[in-house]
Structure 1
Amino acid sequence: MDELNLIQKIAVMALPLVFAIVLHEVAHGWVADKLGDRTARDMGRLTLNPISHIDLFGTVIMPIMLMVMNAPVFGYAKPVPINPYNFKDPKRGMALSSLAGPATNVLMALVFAFVLRILLPALQGILPASLWSWFGSPVALMCFYGVIINVFLAVLNLIPIPPLDGSRIVHWVLPDKQAAAYYR
């Protein structure tokens, strides 16, 4: 990717990054909604509209800074609000809604990998070379970065350090006394 200029980098990374962070947050809210917490729904955050989820620093500035530095690109969105007191079992509800984000990133990485490995090679044999260079190559790069970004976000979010999703999952697994000590 070193041969691409900054504008080209943004063009091939922006779409997979926005999909990754928006679907990650919507997944949290959707699972919470299914488990009884309507907070995200009531606040209009169960939408795929990126405008509702964009955090200026985490979604725009930080990813561009990472691209400029040739570092792994990732970002974050505004967290979807979840009220654990709306769940029948607050620990379980928080754990499952927290697990939904990284699970969605893993699923998206698999979809991008499928497109990259199966669909695009099939199209390459069908499309004329001129159309392939215009369409196929950028889509292949988007899929490649879609895999990288989503795997990175899933792994990062599973680290059991607050405020990452992994800390809420660990809280569910631990007995109450150890969970309280964990958060101190």
Structure 2
Amino acid sequence: MPDEGFGQSQFAWSIRGNPNVKKIFAQLWQTNELLVSFDAVGCFRDWHWNSAWKTISGWYHCDQNPIEKSHRCSIQGFVSLTDNNEFTGGLVVVPQSHKHFEQLQSITRIGKERANFCRVRRNHPLLKQFKPRLVKCKAGDLVVFDSRCIHCNTPALDIEEVTIFNEDKIPQLLRI
């Protein structure tokens, strides 16, 4: 939800300003003087309730320009509000792709619009060389990664089998 203003809401700022989140980023950058860029909030609804909610998988990209910022390391992160696994979907990263970031220069558009966004097609050699992996995490986990890492989101990869109908097992929509 990059354009709806949710990234600047009190809710988003309360997560961003959490002392534990700040502590981790201070350790990563080795300073308490932090400047935050918070461009969006990602929300995914359980598409089993409504198939129109299913996210499009495989829009691999990097959020750093390999031409203009080829050696600069930025760190992205999110605090997961729910468990993420093969039954829910979530963040997919391409391990080791940040070490081959310069290979994305030939596919990067130069210009002001989305200058820090580099779309990576599904047939790119780096996706074949390094197997994309779903990041499994628990509610409350902070997930951080190098912005040069190729990544995307995916819907659930597997369906959780429920053999007996039980009202206690009905998935609830997240209320914030």
Give the TM-score normalised by the residue count of structure 1. 0.30
Q: Which has the higher contact order (CA 8 A, sep 6+)?
A: 2
Give 1 or 2 for the bigger CA radius of gyration. 1
Q: Which structure shows the bigger proportion of residues in strand conformation? A: 2
Give the TM-score normalised by the residue count of structure 2. 0.31
